[in-house]
Amino acid sequence: MVTEPARLVVTLQTATHRFHRDLPPSRVWAYDGSLPGPTIEVTRGVVQCVPGRSGGQPDPAAAALSGFSVVHLHGGMTRADSDGWAENMAAPHQPSLDTYPNDQRATMLWYHDHVMGVTRFSVYAGLAGLWIVRDERERELELPLGPPYELPLLLTDRNFDTNEHGSLTGDLLHKTDPKVMECFGPFTTVNGTVWPYLDVEPTTYRFRVLNGSNARTYRLVLTRDGEPDHERITQIGTEGGLLPAPVSVPAQGLVLASAERADLLVDFSDLAPGTELTLWNTATAPFDGTFVDPATAGRADLDGLLPYPEVLKIRVTEGGRSRGRVPRVLATDFRRTGRDELTGAVVRAIALVEQEAEVEGAPALLTMRELAADPAAGEPSITLVEPHGDAEERVTHWRTVATRFEDTTTFFLTLHRSEIWRLINLTEDTHPIHVHLDAFQVLDRRGATVEIADGGITATGTSATVRIGRDLDDGIPHGLDHNERGLKDTVRVNPKEVVDIVVRFQVFCGRYMYHCHILEHEDHDMMRPFVVMPAELMPARGLTGSHDRPNPGTHVGRPHLGGRWLRRSRRGGHGAAPGVERGRGTDRGADRSPATRGAARLDHRMGAVLRDPHPRRSRRVRAQAAHGDAGPPGRLPTAGRGDRR
């Protein structure tokens, strides 16, 4: 726990890590060589400087891991120069220094690599760790703090290579099959262990759950004796910290897309020693938001790329029996903003768009398109039709003004001023959209019918009609779950859906990013910049604080049909693992691209080169990480599934 201004040195190291007792060790690339990285626990407002050292010699067998890196504290209210702008990377052997004020509500953040174009590989190789901010309010509520009753659960899916005999080698495998964009690993890991056990006493635990997967969405269902058993779970917080009041788990289970988090109290006090519970994933991949009956928990689905639905087994042991209090009032510093309070706010629209190949057999493209109102006559546009009052409709037309990361910046926001960002999904998958800097409020989620005109999606333009419906019957429960009504930093936008969020930046100005948190999408341009400016300086840029662009005459969005786009298929295979391969044997050569296997071999001596002016504090944080195989503090699930005692 860091309680005074501190300097913590974290180095990027290769190490070996055993994901399961029965697996050979895997090479990983991790913060301080530990997977997950050290769990860093700080007190609100206590500044922390983290010098890091990246790099070393790239491993020729893992060419995708170049040793370039930049760390992002996800959910952190961080000055722009320490926020991990994807292009501000450190080359191998170069030091970096980031400062984190930690002046924000208590919550669980995470830090991970964000380097331009290859984040999917470096996070997959192990560059991720947890960062817990504590504050007074959280202490007042007498929630479990720290081990053994507070336990972070970092979920990731991973795949492993096989040797010529078909046995798992332990080498991490991220396939770059030309037909598959996302990585959906068949094996779920919790804190770096595949299918672990967790022993609990008959009392109340606090689980801090994070989906740290590249692309996979989890829909978590807890069962006992084969039946969903959600009564014992209460959700008290989300990405942005405590909810105003506790909520129960949604009817179909707890859905967490990449980067989403849940703060849960789980009461085991009524259970006899020896009782077993299982946490399952019921979400198939790619995830599209469709409702699934929680009674299906435990069912494998090969077509849905869910060969092994088990996440975690929980065993109740002997121990002091007690039931933790669930406070009726949690956060006292957050009140939802209603739409009526946002009259006159700037509305910015972003379309999530998949672009079909123009040439048969060529790859489809995936883009995030910034829109502006009032297209010229005949210009391709998105028409949004919303119900307005009882019988009327409101119609808005939007033209496309940016599609690629490097296109002209169009989002200039005024510090302290609320805006509505409207996320319109024209694709068939759910995209978790993450905004850097301040957490946001999800205003609403509305189902819609989407009609894309023939040839309506081009490299520069978008022609579609999106009609927000009142009674859609598409199997997707459009609408906000209770656990989405607090502060969030990542929001799921399902297919056929328009999600409005209220963003407001309250402390820092500068250039930041927002993006899809499916890392394979983020790496391929589903990421855009925005700039926060103080009101006084807006005129100096020729801006008024509305959604003006500095150069409105420039129509950005050039055709980029080159090789940088990744190919994508609706249903790709994911398995090198036995029993998982989906019969695309002819693709195996491409799958085994050495560029994507294993972790880079970096210079282990780097740790000795850096000097830490406060070695004792650093060691304390590292000691937490070293508490168990897998990193975070607490009674760690480190035993493999074969370890039944």
- Residue (37 or 286) nearer to Cu ion, CB: 286
- Residue (217 or 414) nearer to Cu ion, CB: 217
For residue 301, give Cα distances in angstroms to 18, 282, 337.
27, 9, 41
Closest-approach residue to Cu ion (CB): 516
State in angstroms the smallest separation of the CB of 528 from Cu ion: 12
If we measure between CA atoms, which residue out of 16, 158, 35, 193 comes closest to residue 641? 193
Output phi, psi for 137, to 5 deg. -60, -45
User: Which are the contacts of 530, defined by CB distance < 8 A and separation ≥ 6?
Assistant: 409, 411, 412, 413, 511, 512, 513, 514
With contact defined as beta carbons under 8 Å apart, do 85 and 513 qualify?
A: yes
User: With contacts defined by CB under 5 A, how many residues of the chain interact with Cu ion?
Assistant: 5
- Residue (78 or 119) nearer to Cu ion, CB: 119
State in angstroms the smallest separation of the CB of 521 from Cu ion: 3
State in angstroms the smallest separation of the CB of 287 from Cu ion: 10
Tell whether residue 431 is a contact of Cu ion (CB under 5 A): yes
State in angstroms the smallest separation of the CB of 597 from Cu ion: 24
Which range of residues in 356-364, 479-487, 515-523, 603-611 is near Cu ion by CB under 5 A?
515-523
State in angstroms the smallest separation of the CB of 431 from Cu ion: 3
Helix (H, G, I), strand (E, B) or coil at 206: strand
Tell whether residue 77 is a contact of Cu ion (CB under 5 A): no
Tell whether residue 209 is a contact of Cu ion (CB under 5 A): no
- Residue (143 or 518) nearer to Cu ion, CB: 518
For residue 138, give Cα distances in angstroms to 240, 331, 380, 439.
13, 8, 50, 18
Tell whether residue 516 is a contact of Cu ion (CB under 5 A): yes
Tokens describing residue 592: 């085994």
How many angstroms separate the CA atoms of 631 and 108, rounded?
15
Helices marked H in 516-612 — which ranges? 519-522, 588-591, 606-609
- Residue (9 or 433) nearer to Cu ion, CB: 433
- Residue (59 or 520) nearer to Cu ion, CB: 520
Tell whether residue 518 is a contact of Cu ion (CB under 5 A): yes
State in angstroms the smallest separation of the CB of 526 from Cu ion: 5
Which range of residues in 132-140, 434-442, 466-474, 513-521 is near Cu ion by CB under 5 A?
513-521
State in angstroms the smallest separation of the CB of 64 from Cu ion: 20
Within 575-634, the residues that bind Cu ion by CB under 5 A are: none
DSSP annotation string for 74-139: ET----GGGS--TT-PBPTT-EEEEEE---S-SEEEEEEE--TTTHHHHHHTT-EEEEEEE-HHHH
State in angstroms the smallest separation of the CB of 427 from Cu ion: 8
If we measure between CA atoms, which residue out of 31, 35, 34, 28 comes closest to residue 14? 28
Which range of residues in 334-342, 399-407, 431-439, 618-626 is near Cu ion by CB under 5 A?
431-439
Which range of residues in 330-338, 391-399, 410-418, 508-516 is near Cu ion by CB under 5 A?
508-516
How many angstroms separate the CA atoms of 551 and 591, rounded?
44
- If phi > 0 it is left, if psi is from -120 to 50 it is alpha, else beta; for residue 382 that is beta
With contact defined as beta carbons under 8 Å apart, do 313 and 276 qualify?
A: yes
Tell whether residue 183 is a contact of Cu ion (CB under 5 A): no
How many angstroms separate the CA atoms of 56 and 385, rounded?
54
If we measure between CA atoms, which residue out of 356, 410, 372 comes closest to residue 561? 356
Which range of residues in 7-15, 147-155, 410-418, 524-532 is near Cu ion by CB under 5 A?
524-532
Among 230, 492, 521, 524, binds Cu ion (CB under 5 A): 521
The residue ranges that bind Cu ion (CB under 5 A) are 431, 516, 518, 521, 526
